[in-house]
Amino acid sequence: MPDQIEAEIVLVEDNPNDAEITIRSLKKHHLANKLVWLKDGVEALDFLFARNEYKNRDVKNLPRVIFLDLKLPKIDGIEVLEEIRKNEITKKIPVVVLTSSKEEQDVMKTYDLGVNSYIVKPVEFENFAKAIAEVGFYWLITNTTPTT
């Protein structure tokens, strides 16, 4: 792993099929030049807080958006979101939940924790790819985030 990893998008997704659709859709629309795919909650927190394998990464080099699945191995997405929002450095990073969960308790809990958007993954491939492109375009091109 290189010492310095620049990421505009952090994708936290354990399902390789969903990750591939997401990455392909973003690449197709030239939005994935600096994308980091992390496969579980522990890896996501290690990356964001420059720990373990990512210890040489500059923690102040923040992504422009985090796409976060909720159903993750090791540490789930809600716990990842809690850690992001508790930390002064990471608390303002836009977090978009991309999940298959339609559970009202998940929606409520993530919004209580300060999620910026909650998107239920469409089942159909074309709809999923289109949704990802639209979300990527909004968060990387249209949206303005605070500078640190």
Those residues whose C-beta lies under 8 Å from the C-beta of residue 141, and which sit 6 or more positions away, are: 31
Tens of pLDDT, residue by residue over 47-101, are 999 999 999 998 888 999 999 999 999 999 999 999 999 999 999 999 999 998 8
Query: pTM of this prediction?
Result: 0.89
Containing structural domain, residue 28: 9-140
CATH of the domain at 33: 3.40.50.2300
Distances (CA, A) of 84 to 16, 20, 25, 39, 74: 24, 25, 26, 17, 16
Percentage with pLDDT > 70 across the chain = 94
In total, how many domains does the chain have? 1
Residue 91, pLDDT score:
95
User: Does 146 reside within a domain?
Assistant: no
Produce one character per residue of 61-81: b if its CB has 16 or more CB atoms within 10 Å, e if not: ebbbbbbbbbebeebbbbbbb
Tens of pLDDT, residue by residue over 104-148, are 999 999 999 999 999 998 778 788 888 888 888 788 778 777 765
User: Does 60 reside within a domain?
Assistant: yes
User: Does 2 reside within a domain?
Assistant: no
